[in-house]
Amino acid sequence: MDTILDTAKSWLTDFFDSETKKEIENLIAGNTEELEDRFYKDMEFGTGGMRGVMGVGTNRINKYTLGKSTQGLSNYLNKVYEGEDIKVVIAYDCRHNSDTLARTVAEVFSANGIKVFLFSELRTTPELSFAVRYLGCHAGVVLTASHNPPEYNGYKVYWTDGGQIVPPQDREIIAEINSLSYEDTNFNANESLIELIDKELDEAFISASVANGNFDAQGKDEFKIVFTSLHGTSITAIPEVLKRAGYRNVTIIEEQSKPDGNFPTVESPNPEETEALSMAVKKAEEIGADMVVGTDPDSDRLGVAVRNLEGKMEILNGNQTMVLMTKFLLEKRKERGFKGNEFIATTIVSTPMMEVMADAYGVEFKTALTGFKWIGKMIKDFPQSQFIGGGEESFGYMVGDFVRDKDAVTSTLLACEIASQAKANGGSMYKDLIDCYVDYGFYKEELISITKKGMSGAEEIKQMLKDFKENPVVSVAGSKVKYIEDYNVSTIKNVLTGEEKPIDIPKSNVLIYETEDGTRIAARPSGTEPKVKFYISTNAPLPRAEDFQRVAADLDHKIAQILSELKLS
């Protein structure tokens, strides 16, 4: 505790403002546990940049932690691009303090002689990714904590290619940040270097999104969409994109259209949670809409609901939307003719169905660790290859390479195109999905997330994952475990033959068991929230569309059995 107390006391110098100091003094006088949690470590970069609860402390998001990170990033940019006119672009979302934190970040960059383009109001994350390349910037920053609860905020950092920072830049930037003390931050803005941007960028981004997501689907006039921005940024782009692509029948959930960092109408602004889309789904049932689309606060995740076989609105999961979008893009590409250099991509905890589809179309399939930055990196690493599309189970998708992060703006349009075309053909998006299952196998997935907060929670998560590894699963739902993929040591072991092979993916705390019948169970700690995640993937052949309900019930039963065997239910 002594060192934690020392760290806290180091924030009582003149460099820190009086409010900050007062709060620390109160914590020192009274709340040891809270003080510990706030100062036991520095904020760290995780799956999607730096993310944490707002407040005073080294382990919190505030002007000092973000200031220091920006100082480190400025130093790094000034070293790497010495002699160049360095430019960065900054966007922010609807969260509390996002606008003032964006200002602070802009001020620190400018104090270091860096030109800053700052969005005048909230904008989406994909627009920021687009802006980095459009404006020829060296880096970009978004102030957002994505779909996390209201008390969170964060800092996503983009490099010259418009993708989030990856090796080697990420570790070099982090090393630079860690070498600094908080007092090294230069907050003395050079206002002449800060330029506000908005309309020109919006126009360029919106037209690019329409160009990339519009496939001239039929039936747009009759196609009824309910859209919700869940109090976030997508309201600045998606209604306009849908309008320009020809959709006339779009109902916006007004109660959720006003940006609001309290996210007052939802428990969690995360399209992964069924509850987040319930208002929109209710509206869709009321007005007889064909489809619901909803995005997370920074508009890189997308939730979709469509009518199922009974005609009820059903929310698709991230794997299902990804499969449908990829299938559609592959089909369109096939019509134009493959050149032989195309690839699709997903993450190691997403559905294996993506690989089956890639094989069927004869395109390359690439997998990455969780974190869309790794998919962005593939585009940078393989400039001769053509990225068709790709995504991940956590409701993120990217169409082509005009942005370099998951993009719910273009993906929303793409989802509408698929569904509108399907309806015009006399079918539905849901039926398209069943057809995919017939062609490639029926894959059914389930995600179990367990929240464990704070310092003790972090320890518990560590222990759970350690136990999962040290007591290896030998069989799951009656099928023997065949492979153990251990990303901590980058190996895949065939436990039946003892054969071991290296995995060519950066190290990460992920463990995956795969059984003889292709069931996969993956476990990893979240890098954005205090959670441990277990991903279950099962599959079975689907001989005919008519067998869908039966096989779905079988797989549900299997998943329930797996959860009970793993003591996760």
Ligand X SMILES: O=P([O-])(O)O[C@H]1O[C@H](COP(=O)(O)O)[C@@H](O)[C@H](O)[C@H]1O
Residues that bind ligand X (CB under 6 A): 47-48, 146-147, 300-301, 370-372, 392, 394, 396, 526-529, 533
In the set 300, 401, 445, 529, which binds Mg ion (CB under 5 A)? 300
Q: Which does 372 bind (CB under 5 to 8 A by kind): Mg ion, ligand X, none?
A: ligand X
Q: Work out whether 401 is an interface residue with Mg ion (CB under 5 A).
A: no
Tell me which residue has its CB nearest to Mg ion. 146
Q: What is the chain's Cα-based Rg?
A: 24
Q: Work out whether 445 is an interface residue with Mg ion (CB under 5 A).
A: no
Minimum CB–partner distance for residue 230 and ligand X (Å): 13
Minimum CB–partner distance for residue 83 and ligand X (Å): 33
Cα atoms found within 13 Å of the Cα of residue 146, Cβ hemisphere only: 28
The DSSP output letter for 130 is H
Rank residues 146 and 317 by Cβ distance to Mg ion and give the closer one: 146
CB 306 within 8 A of CB 314: yes
Query: Reduced to 3 DSSP states, what percent helix, strand and coil does the chain have, rounded to the nearest 5?
Result: 40, 25, 35
Minimum CB–partner distance for residue 206 and ligand X (Å): 21
Look at the chain and count its residues. 569
* Cα dihedral sign, 95-100-104-109: positive
Q: How far apart are CA 358 and CA 262, in angstroms?
A: 41
Minimum CB–partner distance for residue 291 and Mg ion (Å): 21
- Residue whose tokens read 């107390």: 5
Q: How far apart are CA 55 and CA 61, in angstroms?
A: 6
Q: Which residues from 142-171 bind Mg ion, rule CB under 5 A? A: 146
Rank residues 7 and 394 by Cβ distance to ligand X and give the closer one: 394
Cβ-based neighbours of 319, under 8 Å, separated by 6 or more: 350, 351, 353, 393, 443, 445
Q: At what angle do helices 408-424 and 199-213 cross, to 10 degrees?
A: 40
Q: Which does 260 bind (CB under 5 to 8 A by kind): ligand X, Mg ion, none?
A: none
Q: Which does 392 bind (CB under 5 to 8 A by kind): ligand X, Mg ion, none?
A: ligand X
Minimum CB–partner distance for residue 40 and ligand X (Å): 21
CB 331 within 8 A of CB 217: no
Q: Which does 527 bind (CB under 5 to 8 A by kind): Mg ion, ligand X, none?
A: ligand X
Residue of 110, 129, 146, 394 with catalytic role: 146
Rank residues 71 and 319 by Cβ distance to ligand X and give the closer one: 319
Q: Work out whether 296 is an interface residue with Mg ion (CB under 5 A).
A: yes
146 in active site: yes
Q: Which does 396 bind (CB under 5 to 8 A by kind): ligand X, Mg ion, none?
A: ligand X
Q: How far apart are CA 178 and CA 31, in angstroms?
A: 27
Minimum CB–partner distance for residue 395 and ligand X (Å): 8
Write out the residues near Mg ion by the rule CB under 5 A. Answer: 146, 296, 298, 300-301
Active site residue ranges:
146
